[in-house]
Structure 1
Amino acid sequence: MTIQIDFIDETNEVTAEQIETLEQLIREAAAVENVPEGAEVSVSFVDNERIRVMNRDYRGKDAPTDVLSFALEEEGEGEIDIIGADVPPVLGDIIISIPKAKEQAAEYGHSFMRELGFLAVHGFLHLLGYDHETEEEERVMFAKQEEILTRFGLTR
């Protein structure tokens, strides 16, 4: 599965090896979900202040969070499909707070890499339309996350 993944590390705290692992993991998730060839996604690693501002501006919650996703392929009200446009889908952006990831890894008693992987898959599934607003949606999304992480070998 060939998808384009761009990584931006604003924190300079994520190693090349960790980025490579995340790239492989996202490719695995894309394969599981049958994401079209050539799809694009970006993953940014930020600090708590940056994600707090984004969370406030886009979700109305003035507090840092662990991961945000901004889907670009969602069809909004009043938008039209571009028929015949043979362009790969741009799925969107995943924003991960590195301080939150470290904090949660310690809190849950697993590795920083496991937490990064969890947040990347969680964000990626949001880009594909998964959500956890209801108990049923949460059950489906969280089961899919665990399936992908386990299949990849990134377990707790």
Structure 2
Amino acid sequence: MSIEVCNESGISVDESLIASVARFALDAMHVSPAAELSILAVTEEAMSELHERWMEEPGPTDVMSFPMDDLADESRRPDAPDPGPALLGDIVLCPEFAKAQARAAGHSLADELHLLTVHGVLHLLGHDHAEPDEEREMFALQNQLLTRWRTAREQEAAAEAQRRSDSAVLGVVGLEDH
């Protein structure tokens, strides 16, 4: 799976963690490993232009999703060759706009960007929140994916800390044996 993250926002963001949460969500949703995703962080001005052009709403917003290819092409013949990489779409984030939301929610900008990335991925996969039932379903899935990703990251960090500790102990024990 190819995920490209480009930050043109002028605000420092951890691009590797944004790619990580996107990859986790796509894997959890069983998206083809041949999929390609582009994530772009932009200024409020650039987001305003996109928001007005594509949604016909004034001002900036936090995240927009632009789906491209349909990864579930049921019309293909069963004996057709596997298609090449499919462009899932683009997610556009606006860190400057997201800052206020992060403050209001009582968490960091990084946490808000991770949430918005998962939100954007779900939109690319056809989820919506226009109706109350859709909103409950989409936001529950979003929260579940974020919780699972954070838990996986914590477990990876704990395992790495244990490996470092084990290496330090084994290194010291190994020296004492000589």
The question of 1:123 aligning with 2:123 is answered: no
Identity of aligned residues (%): 35
The question of 1:139 aligning with 2:143 is answered: no
2:101 alignment partner in structure 1: 104
What secondary structure sits across from 1:40 in the alignment?
Answer: strand
Distance 2:12 2:32 in 1: 28
Distance 2:12 2:120 in 1: 17
Q: Superposed, which structure 2 residues align to 1:20-99 within 5 Å?
A: 20-74=16-70, 84=80, 86-99=83-96
Rg comparison, structure with higher value? 2
Deviation per CA, 1:42-94: give whole Å up to 9, x if none: 0000111100110100110011100000001259xxxxx56636122211000
Distance 2:9 2:143 in 1: 27
Q: Which runs of 4+ in 1 moved over 3 A?
A: 81-85
TM-score, normalising length from structure 2? 0.76
**Which blocks of at least 5 consecutive residues in structure 1 are unaligned?**
76-80
Deviation per CA, 1:17-49: give whole Å up to 9, x if none: x11111111111011100001200100001111
What secondary structure sits across from 1:153 in the alignment?
Answer: helix
Distance 2:48 2:141 in 1: 27
Aligned length: 146
**Which blocks of at least 5 consecutive residues in structure 2 are unaligned?**
152-178
Deviation per CA, 1:97-123: give whole Å up to 9, x if none: 111111111111101111000000000
Distance 1:63 1:8 in 2: 22
Task: Kindly report the root-mean-square deviation, in angstroms, between the aligned alpha carbons of the 2 structures.
Answer: 1.9
The question of 1:9 aligning with 2:7 is answered: yes
Higher-helix-fraction structure: 2
